[in-house]
Amino acid sequence: MAETLDKARAIVAAAISKAEESLNAGIRELRAEADKVKASRKNLDRAYVDLELERRAFSNDQKQAQVFTEAWKSIPEAERSPTVKKALAAAAPIVSPSKGPQRTDDAHPVTVRPRGPGIE
């Protein structure tokens, strides 16, 4: 009976050892996955910071452009520098005049004129 009890203890000890090894392997895998997630999070945080810095720089550029434009408008036309005028003209976006709606059904209903024979 003692021999059977020793065999049972050995079997239980082996099973516990295998279970511990399996648990430790699972824990290692989870830690490795957690490290990957942390690294991804750091990359996302860095990307967010970069985007935020770019947004703020763009916002500052807009504010500076607005201040410059207001100051420029306050200078009488005759006193404005021709070099700055050329630079501003080159930097200004090209705006084409509006052609209006492409089709009459795109237009506001009040502005649509009926067409047909006998209608002028």
Question: Would residue 117 count as lying in a domain?
Answer: no
Question: Would residue 57 count as lying in a domain?
Answer: yes
Question: Would residue 111 count as lying in a domain?
Answer: no
pLDDT at 109 over 60: no
| Location of structure tokens 């957690």 | 34
pLDDT in tens, 38-88: 999 888 888 888 888 888 888 888 888 888 888 878 888 888 788 777 777
Count of the separate structural domains present in the chain? 1
Of residues 15 and 75, more confidence is placed in 15
Please state, for a pLDDT cut of 70, what percent of the chain lies above it.
Answer: 75
Of residues 27 and 109, more confidence is placed in 27
Structure tokens at 112: 């649509």
Residue 58 lies in domain? 7-86
| pTM value surpassing 0.75 | no
Question: Would residue 13 count as lying in a domain?
Answer: yes
Residue 53: closest CA among 64, 45, 65, 43: 45
pLDDT (0 to 100) of residue 74: 84
Question: Would residue 104 count as lying in a domain?
Answer: no
Q: What is the average pLDDT value for the chain, to the nearest integer? A: 79
Sorted by sequence, the CB contacts under 8 Å of residue 104 that are 6+ apart come out as 112, 115
Question: Would residue 26 count as lying in a domain?
Answer: yes
Question: Would residue 119 count as lying in a domain?
Answer: no
Of residues 120 and 91, more confidence is placed in 91
Of residues 106 and 82, more confidence is placed in 82
Residue 115 has what DSSP assignment? -
Instruction: Report long-range pairs for 94-103 (Cβ below 8 Å, ≥24 apart).
Output: none
pLDDT (0 to 100) of residue 83: 79
Question: Would residue 30 count as lying in a domain?
Answer: yes
